[in-house]
């Protein structure tokens, strides 16, 4: 399942060159990941268990400068949910200029499930995998 999120470029997103500052793209990607799971029953269940997503690696490519007033479309896809017993999963995220095929930026975001009680990454269980696979197939 791919989720689309739209963000309008504002003045405070810009750097001295009048295009979106490179660090802002990380915020845009994060906003889109939150939107991806916003209504997810799986996320709500994990939050009740004090389990959260923690980013452990970001691989990002800057391809085209976005500027003031443009609207960006961020496409987010849970590309790889770790197999049972595994810990690392990945999101593929791509930012386009709205209504075009112009790629502004793309990234592979690697994350783990993190237990808030033990302060450690935890492996994906069969139960967790089934929650997400069920939701992602809808």
Please give the positions annotated as active site: 15
Dmax over CA atoms of the chain, in Å, equals 49
């Amino acid at each position: 399942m791919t989720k689309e999120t739209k963000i309008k470029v504002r003045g405070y997103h810009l750097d001295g060159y009048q295009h979106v500052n490179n660090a802002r793209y990380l915020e845009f990607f994060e906003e889109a990941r939150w939107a991806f799971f916003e209504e997810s029953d799986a996320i709500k269940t994990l939050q009740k268990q004090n389990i959260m997503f923690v980013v452990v690696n970001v691989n990002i490519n800057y391809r085209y400068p976005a500027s003031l007033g443009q609207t960006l479309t961020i496409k987010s896809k849970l590309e790889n949910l770790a197999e049972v017993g595994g810990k690392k999963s990945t999101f593929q995220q791509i930012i386009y200029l709205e209504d075009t095929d112009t790629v502004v930026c793309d990234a592979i975001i690697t994350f783990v499930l993190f237990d808030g009680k033990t302060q450690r990454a935890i492996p994906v269980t069969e139960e967790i995998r089934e929650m997400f696979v069920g939701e992602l197939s809808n």
